[in-house]
Each structure stands twice: as C-alpha cells, then as structure tokens.
Copies of this chain bind each other. A is one copy, B any other.
Amino acid sequence: MEARKINEFEAGIRVEGFFMIKTVDCKITNSNNKKYLDFVLCDKTGEISAKLWELSEGEEEQYKSNTIIKVRGSILSWQNNLQLKIEKLRNAEASDDVRVEEFVPTAPFQPEEMFQRIKNYIDNMINEDIKNIVGIIFEQNKDKLNYYPAAKKNHHAIRSGLLYHIMTMLKAGDKLCEVYDFLNKDLLFAGVILHDMAKLYEMEANDLGIVNEYTIEGQLLGHITQGIKNIELVAESIGADKEVTMLLQHMVLSHHYEPEYGSPVKPMIAEAEMLHYLDIIDARMYDIKKVTRDTKAGDFSERLWSLDNRRIYKPMLHQ
C-alpha cells in the first residue's frame, strides 16, 4: 500500500491516503441499474477520477465537495486516463489532523504578510485622494482578498492568488521606477492595487480559492467595468479630485490594452502603460515557472493555454 501524491500515480499500483473531494455525483450504471459514486479527487499535485462501485445504504449522502476523505484503492487505466477504483473510504476526522488548505494550491506567502506589505505601499502614498480611494477599497475587500485567486483557470488561480499577484507586481513596479524615474509612484501603485480588484465581484470563489462560476454581473459587465463603478462611488463619497478619479479609472479601463481583451481604450498615461506590462510580465513569469516545475532539463513542458498554447523549453544550461 503506497502513500503517493496524485502526480505519482501509475496504472497497476495500489494506494492509500487523504484526498480532497473536488466534486462528487451519484450515478446509475448502464448494465445493471445500480448506483455508484463518481468522484473527482485532488491534492496539491493534481486530480484524478475515482469510482466507488459498491454503496452501502445511505452512503451516497455522506461525502461532500471540498472536504477531505481517507481512501484505499487501486489505479486502473481507462481510455488512456488513470482512474482510482475505491475499495474503502471514510471522511477525515479531527484526529487525522489534516487541513483542507493543504489540499489546494496556495500562494507561497501568508495572506497577513502580503496584506501588510501592500498596506505599506498605500501608507507611503503622497497624494491624499489616491491614498484614500485605494485605502478604502483595499479595506472593503480585506476578507475576500484573504482567499480569492486571481483567475478561474489561468495565472495565479490559487488560494490568495490575487493578493500574491498584487504584491509581486508592486515589487516589480518599485524596481522599475528606479530605472524609469519619471513615473508617478502613487498612480502606478494605485493602478496595481485596483486593476483586478473587481474580480472579487466578477467571480464566485469559495474560501479555498476555487472559482466555480462567474457572477451574473460579472458576465454582463466584467471586472473592468465593475472596478470603475466602484471607484466612482468611493471617489464621489469622499469628494475626490476629478482628475485623480479619472486617472485611476483610466488605468483600470486600459490595463488589458487591446479591445478584444476588454480594454476599449489604450493607455494614454505613462503609468497605465507600465501597469499593463507589470501585469502581463507577472502573469507570464508565474505561468512559465509553474508549467516547467516538473519538466526535466532538455525537455519541453506540456502546452499551456494561457501561454497561447506554447510549450516551454527547459535548457540543460539551467542545471
């Protein structure tokens, strides 16, 4: 019996361990009309389809999404995919001492730490209106920022991913302001903090940082428009300077750069131009690092949709 991670499974072995239930459905077999449970299980390393063919009375009600189970079973190959045939399972108990957070991919910093670092950037802002608008919006969203990812599937689609994305962009922006010193730091950092904030309202995420769907308003308006609305209300409420309000909204509006990616106008101030590149660099570096993590030197990674379906080569040189 082996305690492997999902990405180490192979056909023919038997396994035992704790996994998180991503989804679970009760279905009926075609051949003999019997009920069975159809799971998708995951850990930090990946996910796998799993079947429980023999149900005891009432067992179908016992297992829930986003909880941990202990499982024993064997790995089969079914139509070129691995599948886990469950022999035995039970819900995790307090005494097992497993935490659901350990089963979902998470940012490499604690939310509290990231929160504090971003706060420091806000505290150092000079322009009072910018500082207030950003400060208010940041505080309003503190709770959700703890666990929200930055996307449903692409870059930073991990627990606390949005916070991590903001913090890394702030670091990189700070560095580049040393080279391009005519940039206004207040504006640039405000743009970084606000640019994706309305993703908290565009997507519905649970506290594991998993997005199940987009909200209705998210679909009808999108996070760029939602973000602008929010800035409007906050700026109005504090009687902020009109130009400041407009510049912050312009940065949010233009940060996707191309109309077909959702920005009806292109950046027309230096800080909006830089914001766009900070965003895309951080996304690309995240994706490249992630997709090559398990690639051997001298090989190509798998294709990644968010990298225009490219495969990334890992040089021998890097060894």
Chain A interface residues toward B at CB < 8 A: 11-12, 27-28, 30, 33, 74, 76-78, 83, 127, 168, 171-172, 175-176, 178-180, 182, 184, 187, 216-217, 219-222, 224-225, 228-229, 232-233, 236, 242-244, 246-247, 249-250, 253, 259-270, 273-274, 277, 280-281, 284-285, 288-289, 292, 298, 300, 308, 310-318
Residues from chain B with a CB closer than 8 A to the CB of A78 are: 30
**Contact between B228 and A225, CB atoms less than 8 A apart:** yes
Residue of B nearest to A29 (CB): B76
Question: A172-B176, A228-B229 are contacts. A317–B266 as well, Cβ < 8 Å?
Answer: no
Given A76-B30, A224-B264 in contact, is the A288-B273 Cβ separation under 8 Å?
Answer: yes
Please determine whether A313 and B264 come into contact, CB atoms closer than 8 angstroms.
Answer: no
Closest chain B residue to A169, Cβ basis: B179
Residues in chain B near residue A229, CB distance under 8 A: 228-229, 232, 249
CA distance A266 to B313 in the complex (A): 12
List of B residues within 8 angstroms of A33 by Cβ: 74, 76
A313–B268 Cα distance when bound, in Å, is 6
CA distance A71 to B179 in the complex (A): 40
Indicate the member of A172, A224, A243 with the most B CB atoms within 10 Å: A243
A98 to B: closest C-beta gap in Å: 30
User: Are A288 and B308 within 8 A (Cβ)?
Assistant: no
- Chain A interface, >50% SS class: helix
Q: How far is the CB of A286 from the nearest CB of chain B, in Å? A: 9
- A-B CB contact pairs (8 Å), 23 listed: A11-B27, A30-B78, A33-B74, A171-B179, A180-B281, A184-B315, A216-B300, A220-B249, A221-B249, A224-B264, A225-B253, A229-B232, A233-B233, A243-B317, A259-B262, A264-B264, A266-B308, A268-B300, A268-B311, A269-B314, A270-B312, A273-B288, A277-B280
A244 to B222, CA, bound (A): 16
**Residue pair A225, B264 in contact (C-beta under 8 Å):** yes
Q: How far is the CB of A72 from chain B (nearest CB, A)?
A: 16
Query: Is the beta-carbon distance between A269 and B312 smaller than 8 angstroms?
Result: yes
- B233→A217 contact, CB < 8 A: no
Complex Cα gap A259–B259 (Å): 5
* Minimum C-beta distance from A311 to chain B (A): 7
Q: Closest residue of chain B to A241, judged by CB?
A: B317
> Which residues in B have their C-beta under 8 angstroms from that of A243?
315-317
Chain B nearest Cβ from A233, distance in angstroms? 6
* A253 with B313: CB separation less than 8 A: no
| Complex CA–CA separation, A292 to B267 (angstroms) | 14
Contact partners of A300 in chain B: CB under 8 A:
216, 219, 268
Q: Give the docked Cα–Cα distance between A197 and B305 (Å).
A: 32
Contact (Cβ within 8 A) B262 A264: yes
**A41 CA to B42 CA in the complex, in Å?**
37
